Amino acid sequence: MKRDSRLSAVLHALLHMAERTEPMTSEELALCLSTNPVVVRRTMGLLREAGLVASARGHSGGWHIKADLSKVSLRQLHEALGEPALFAMGNRHENPECLVEQAVNAALSEAFDAAEALLLERFASVSLADLAEDFARRHKAHLEKETQ
């Protein structure tokens, strides 16, 4: 089963955008993400609908972050992307009348629901500012290591 990596890609793009003072074009973002500009435009369009980014056309146009980084959580971004499935695992529904299948599905559903709630709670507690701060720390350490 293919994994949905849009949240990771969006975070990557937004952190690049946060480092720039001017807007980034879909083509520039596509290069950062090793994808097609059409994919960038489609994904950024979802974030624009959520009020998180804005775009401008023309020579100096492109995408820029509209929201305050400290007020945007990973959970908001997950929701803006349409709340893709968090887990690749799921229940089997081949024989709904089977009591074994019912017992297994009940146990698994309870575990999946608890894990999803915990993950979404964690997503709500991490902001884009937190990630930008972590990136800045890592970047500084990398530069210091290179100068040694």
CB 1 within 8 A of CB 88: yes
Domain count, the chain: 1
The pLDDT of residue 58 is: 84
112 within a domain of the structure (yes/no): yes
Query: Would you state the pLDDT for residue 1?
Result: 59
Q: CA geometry: angle at 54 spanning 50 and 16, to 5°?
A: 100
DSSP secondary structure letter of residue 64? E
96 within domain boundaries: yes
- Quick one: how far is CA 68 from the chain centroid? 16
Which pair of tokens denotes residue 43? 């994904």
Dmax (CA) of the chain: 67
pLDDT of residue 60: 81
Query: Quick one: pLDDT at residue 124?
Result: 98
Find the domain containing 105 and state its range. 6-146
Q: For residue 129, what pLDDT is reported?
A: 97
Give the tens place of pLDDT for each residue, 76-97: 999 999 998 888 888 989 999 9
**Residue 88 covered by a domain:** yes
Residue type, 62: G
Q: What is the CATH number of the domain that holds 101?
A: 1.10.10.10
Cα 69 to Cα 32, 65, 79, distances in angstroms: 20, 8, 16
pLDDT given for residue 43 in this prediction: 95
Residue ranges for the chain with pLDDT beneath 50: none
**Which residues sit opposite 55 in a β-bridge?**
63
Residue 1 lies in a domain: no
